[in-house]
Structure 1
Amino acid sequence: MTKLKVHTPDSAELEGDLASLRGDCARMVPHWAAPERTAARPVSPSLIHGVSVPSSSARLLDAMSEYGD
């Protein structure tokens, strides 16, 4: 059997605070491109077809209580 070497980072590499995380994110912002926002359009129910749910999943969902019970 081959023994694999696993690199575990030092605790110093894992330490940090929210301020350092925010700073890292701020430095990465120029590298991220956000897609243009588009308005969602409703889909006609006649276009929704081909959805199938396995009977075991349907039974599982049917057995769940409604939110707020």
Structure 2
Amino acid sequence: MTNLKVHTHPGPADLEGDLASLRGDCARMVPHWAAPGPDVVRPVSPSRIHGVDVPASSARLLDAMSDYGD
């Protein structure tokens, strides 16, 4: 036997709602969202910077570009 129950959302069925209904939907969702904390950016000591390794194929590509190679 097949279960033919249909689960529907209890909210409004109008998908073409106005801005007020969208704002209301967002306000109801606020408790479910978590804002990320602020990123802490600390300076890097120059002694920890050792350069950049670029694959030869990428270096040739950049060398062939007039913005970079000329």
TM > 0.5: no
Higher RCO, Cα 8 Å, sep 6+? 2
Tell me which structure has the larger Cα radius of gyration.
Answer: 2
TM-score using structure 1 length? 0.41
